[in-house]
Every structure is written in C-alpha cells, then in structure tokens.
C-alpha cells in the first residue's frame, strides 16, 4: 500500500501535517477533506488566507489538494 503525506498549504509554504499508509488516493483524498474541515474549525482564520491541504506521494508529487474554505471569497 502507498504512503501519503499531508501538508497545510499557506501561500507558497508547505507545513507537514503527517503521513500515513493508505489503500489508494481515493482514501487519501477523503482524509485530506476531513483534515481541511478540522483545520478550518480549529483555526478559522486560515480560511480567509486561501489555505489548503495537499496530498503528496513518496516522491513529493502532489496528487490532491482541497481548500480549507470550500466557498471562495468572491462567491460570498
């Protein structure tokens, strides 16, 4: 099974949030969505900054990205 890393994306900076072995990218993307929801609740100020959670593989290739704020500011 593949190993996936999760990062909090703040501007151009990537802050490691840990990694885990999971079945596939579908499961990893679900985990990223859950992490984004949790982070937006714990640190709501990150929503306004356009932050996201990204998933990378062992070679640091970005496979998935989800915003902390599911509704962009221009839609509010």
What's this model's pTM, rounded to 2 decimal places? 0.85
Residues 6+ apart with CB under 8 A from 50: 11, 67, 69
The tally of domains found in the chain comes to 1
Torsion of CA 25, 31, 59, 9, to 10 degrees: 130
CA distance 74 to 56: 28
**pLDDT at res. 51:** 92
26 is in which domain, residue-wise?
A: 3-75
| Contact residues for 56 (Cβ-Cβ < 8 A; gap 6+) | 4, 5, 7, 62, 63
Q: What is the pLDDT along the chain (76 residues), one digit of tens a residue?
A: 899 999 999 988 999 999 999 999 999 999 999 999 999 889 888 877 889 999 999 999 999 999 997 665 545 5
């Amino acid at each position: 099974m593949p190993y996936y890393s999760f990062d909090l994306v703040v501007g151009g900076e990537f802050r490691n949030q840990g990694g885990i072995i999971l079945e596939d990218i579908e499961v990893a993307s679900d985990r990223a969505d859950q992490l984004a929801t949790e982070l937006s609740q714990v640190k709501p100020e990150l929503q306004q900054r356009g932050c996201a959670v990204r998933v990378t593989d062992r070679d640091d290739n970005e496979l998935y990205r989800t915003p902390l704020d599911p509704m962009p500011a221009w839609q509010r």
